[in-house]
Amino acid sequence: MTENNRLRVAMQKSGRLSDDSKELFERCGIKVRYHEQRLLAAAENMPIEFLRVRDDDIPGLVMDGVVDLGIIGENVLEETLLTRKSQGDPTEFRMLKRFDFGGCRLSIAIPRDEEWQGLESLNGKRIATSYPQLLKRCFEAKGLTFRPCLLTGSVEVAPRAGLADAICDLVSTGATLEANGLKEVEVIYRSKACLIARKDEMDAEKEDLVKRLLVRMQGVARARE
Ligand code: ATP
Ligand code: ZN
């Protein structure tokens, strides 16, 4: 990518964080037209450009310094952080703001008919998840282990399909679990969307723009209360 002096902001292209991310920048007074086919969208009234990607890529783009800012769920941020640490990749970033959208929890769920006897009862069992690092941290803290069944989608069908004894997945209302004959038994991580920035100082103009954006975001949050 060519260097220019626009503040580069990564956001989810399409998914649960997209609409709220777009709305946030809109409320901050930034005018931008997104094109379905284009990765980049430049703001019309400010030196900012938006990079629209899969949410999983956002923390890495910030930690590698490819983009200046990113809006991401803390769940994905934390999972990426643990993965990158274990691989020796750069993990530095600045946490700028925690938002009131994108709320969800990462929970353990088991078949509805089974009795729950605590996390210990899953020691050594097979657990389906897209968040192996967060799950491992939780199990290790209690001196427990599990065998992973790594899935990036359809995690909730794994027990019924005989692939796993339990799952560890994101929950907001619990309706998906219910529909798959599962019950939530333990929350292991609570998440919200947040704004992160790359670690190394940007040039003065960009730092100043980030400061102004944060003030506007503060105003947006207050207006919503
Ligand atoms: P992508 O195609 O960008 O990889 P995805 O399928 O991984 O998208 P989404 O389902 O759009 O991701 O969720 C994005 C983020 O939204 C989650 O990582 C989480 O932080 C947040 N979120 C809020 N509520 C929920 C929910 N009920 N289920 C899943 N994620 C939720
Ligand atoms: Zn994703």
| ipTM entry | 0.96
For ligand 1, residues with CB inside 6 Å are 12, 15-17, 54-56, 73, 75-76, 102, 104, 170, 172, 191
Distance of CA 52 to CAs 39, 85, 151, 162, Å? 5, 25, 24, 37
* Helix (H/G/I), strand (E/B), else coil: 183: strand
The alpha carbon of 73 and the centre of ligand 2 are apart by a number of angstroms equal to 10
Topology of 104-190 in CATH? Answer: D-Maltodextrin-Binding Protein; domain 2 (3.40.190)
14 alpha carbon to ligand 2 midpoint, in Å?
Answer: 10
3-class secondary structure, 163? coil
**Sheet (strand 166-171) strand order:** 147-150, 126-129, 166-171, 104-111, 182-191
Residue from 17, 19, 133 to probe ligand 1 pocket by mutation (most atoms less than 8 Å from CB): 17
Nearest atom within ligand 1 for CA of residue 76? 18
- As given in the structure block, the two tokens for residue 105 are 């929890």
Q: How many angstroms separate the CA atoms of 194 and 217, rounded?
A: 12
Most ligand 1 atoms within 8 A of CB, residue of 11, 19, 22, 55 to mutate: 55
**Structure-block tokens of residue 101:** 């959208």
Q: Boundaries of CATH 3.40.190.10 in the chain? A: 7-102+192-224, 104-190
- Please, what CATH class does the domain formed by 7-102+192-224 belong to? alpha beta
Task: Say if CB 195 and CB 97 are below 8 A apart.
Answer: yes
In ligand 1, the atom with minimum distance to the C-alpha of 74 is: 20
Per-residue pLDDT 10s for the chain (225 aa) are 445 789 999 999 999 999 999 999 999 999 999 998 999 999 999 999 999 999 999 999 999 999 999 999 999 999 999 999 999 999 999 999 999 999 999 999 999 999 999 999 999 999 999 999 999 999 999 999 999 999 999 999 999 999 999 999 999 889 999 999 999 999 999 999 999 999 998 999 999 999 999 999 998 877 777
Give the number of the atom of ligand 1 that is nearest the alpha carbon of residue 191. Answer: 20
144-178 b/e with 16+ CB inside 10 Å = b?
bebeebebeeebbbbbeeeebbbbbbbbeeeeebe
